[in-house]
Amino acid sequence: MGNEYAWIVAAALVGAGIVAFDIGRRRAQRRRRLSDPTAPPEVDDNYLALRLGALTETLDHLGLVVKSEGVKAFGLVIDLGLDRGIVTLSTLITGDIGLYASDGGGTLGGLEEPEIKSAAVTAIKYAEAELGTMTPTKDYPLPAVGQAVFYLLRSDRSVFTTEDSIERLAAGRSALSPAWTAAHRIFERLGVAAKSPA
């Protein structure tokens, strides 16, 4: 009986230590953000892996082929630098979406909900229409607070990018505002407050 109680006490102490460590880590992150609001927040390793997977997605991996001539966009990834962390939205031409948060949370889906599927496809098409405002990239830095970074995935495995402030996008003052509006419908449906910091 005494050994059982010893295990319970030991487990409780370990649990308390983990909670105390997590609270201390979160307080340190908050102090860091308050001292430099533009500094990128610390991010979860799983988030980084999911984000990189979204940014390096290919048609071959998806089992899709381009039916028409020429290079076509098949995906759009949008990174949002919010005051509480980073949110990444991945949309595919199939209507699938992935939403990942830098603290490790996230969701997948899209095909079951016509509104989300339609918004995903529309966002990609509007972004592709602005290809001339984008530049090719192989680098994927995390966004600054208040910024939205767009990555357009194309059938030839190239990735084009551009960025703008969330404020300008939301106000309709950016070439990517139409794509933003479509993507914002997904954010709203999934309960993400994609607003520029005050």
- Tell me which residue of 150, 154, 162 sits closest to 123, measured CA to CA: 150
Give tens-digit pLDDT for 15-41.
Answer: 444 444 444 445 555 555 555 555 555
The pLDDT score that the predictor gives to residue 106 is 76
In terms of C-beta density within 10 A (0-12 exposed, 13-18 middle, 19 or more buried), how is residue 141 classed?
Answer: exposed
Q: Given phi > 0 = left and psi -120 to 50 = alpha, else beta, which region is 85?
A: left
Confidence of residue 196 (pLDDT cuts 50, 70, 90): very low
- Through-space distance between the first and last CA atoms of the chain, rounded to whole angstroms: 58
The pLDDT score that the predictor gives to residue 187 is 82
Mean pLDDT of 77-89: 93
Measured between alpha carbons, how far is 30 from 26 in angstroms, rounded to an integer?
Answer: 6
- Enter the pTM of the model: 0.75
The pLDDT score that the predictor gives to residue 163 is 96
Give tens-digit pLDDT for 112-151.
Answer: 678 888 999 999 999 999 999 999 999 999 999 999 999 9
Q: How far is CA 133 from the centre of its chain?
A: 21
Confirm if 40 and 55 have CB atoms less than 8 A apart. no
- Tell me which residue of 131, 117, 141 sits closest to 176, measured CA to CA: 131
Pairing, β 135-136 against β 147-154: unpaired
- Tell me which residue of 141, 118, 172 sits closest to 149, measured CA to CA: 141
